Structure 1
Amino acid sequence: MSIYSVGRWICRSYFRLFFKVEVIGASRIPDEGGLLLCCNHFSNYDPPFVGSFFPRKVRFMAKEELFRFKPLQSLMMAVGAFPVRRGAGDKQALKVGLKLLKEGETLGIFPEGTRSKDGQIGKGLSGVGFFALRSDATVVPCAIVGKYRFFRKVRFVIGEPVPMEELKERKASAEEATEVIMKAIRKLHEQNQMS
């Protein structure tokens, strides 16, 4: 059993024990082919939460600061994460991401680039649009709804793929593609609010 599988089992058990987890839309995910998973981000819990309940193994792009502490670096590498320099147009990270998508893997990105401080979904960075336009990957919007409060519900919603064909045909900018993806995430988040 891989470190990813063990970590996923531990994290999933933790979330199921301490939160009322509801997953919507998991059956929409194909078993094969590159996937670009795009999700809102407001907590440090988000990456393990998404990795625990998304149907396929997720390779996360993570801020390089997390890789500076050796023990954490080893763990991050073991679960398939790779570093990105935020706000610097990291060409190496873009190259790695495109390679993973081409190889049929799932690339997980939080397009806002950092956690939302007020719970609102902010503006996405152009990197996610770059991946969507430069690859043949299926773009999957996701939304985490609810706060991680013990024994309260947290909902993980996996949406319908965002069509990219028209944007590719007219050579849209990465910024425009990112905004289309962010609109899909916001819509999922709004439609799945809990009373």
Structure 2
Amino acid sequence: MGIYQFGQSVSRIFISTSYKVEIIGKENIPDTGATILCCNHIHYFDPPLLGAYIKRQLHYMAKQELFEKPILKGLLPKLGAFPVRRGMSDKQAIRTAMKLLKEGKMIGLFPEGTRSKNGQLGKGLTGAGFFALRTDAVVIPCAIIGPYRTFKSLKLVYGTPIDFSELRERKASAEEATEVIMTEIKKLIEEHELKS
């Protein structure tokens, strides 16, 4: 078992014993080929949750500051993470993500760029739309529906792929593509909202 699979198992055990987790739509994730999972962001545990219950390895951007910590610096790349400088256009992070997608791998993006302070879906940044338009990747909207409360219900929904063929053909803007992604995430949240 590799480090990623070990980390995935540990995450799965921790999350499953801490919360009543319901996973919906795993069948929407292709077994192979370039794939982008675009998800809302409400908690520190979102990245491990997003990849804990699926077979394929998930690569994701993590803030540069985490890679400056001694232990995480060597560990994060083995867990599929690569650094991104927030608040600016990070060309290296863009190149890394494009390379992974060209190699047919799967990346996870949180289009809001940071965690929501109130649990509500925020505005998406253009990065998600950029990758959706510039590659042939399958784009899957995802929704984490919490909040994270010990032993309480928590949902992770993988939606059906978004058809970007028309937007790619007419060379739509990254902003428009991101809006489409955010609309689909919003629909998933509303459809699967936990009843109090």
Query: CA offset at residue 12 of structure 1?
Result: 0.2
Give CA deviations for 1:101-148 in whole Å, capped at 9, x if unaligned: 111111111000000001110001111111000001000000001111
Partner of 1:108: 108
The 2-side partners of 1:107 and 1:144 are apart by: 17
Helix, strand or coil at the partner of 2:171: coil
- Tell me if structure 2 keeps the 8 A contact 1:29–1:55: no
Partner of 2:53: 53
The 2-side partners of 1:46 and 1:77 are apart by: 17
The 1-side partners of 2:191 and 2:56 are apart by: 24
The 2-side partners of 1:11 and 1:87 are apart by: 29
The 1-side partners of 2:77 and 2:48 are apart by: 14
Give CA deviations for 1:8-57 in whole Å, capped at 9, x if unaligned: 10110111111111000001211111101100001101111112123421
The 2-side partners of 1:187 and 1:53 are apart by: 22
Percent identity, aligned pairs only, is 54
- Tell me if structure 2 keeps the 8 A contact 1:36–1:137: yes
Q: Name structure 2 gaps, 5 residues minimum.
A: none
TM-score relative to the length of structure 2: 0.97
The letter of the residue matching 1:133 is L
Q: CA RMSD in A?
A: 0.8
Partner of 1:142: 142
Partner of 1:161: 161
Give CA deviations for 1:36-94 in whole Å, capped at 9, x if unaligned: 11000011011111121234210011111111112111111111100011121111111
- Tell me if structure 1 keeps the 8 A contact 2:39–2:142: yes
Q: Which runs of 4+ in 1 moved over 4 A?
A: none
Q: Name structure 1 gaps, 5 residues minimum.
A: none
Query: CA offset at residue 96 of structure 1?
Result: 0.7
TM-score relative to the length of structure 1: 0.98
Helix, strand or coil at the partner of 2:60: strand
- How does 1:173-188 map onto structure 2 within 5 Å? 173-188=173-188
Partner of 2:128: 128
- How does 1:6-25 map onto structure 2 within 5 Å? 6-25=6-25
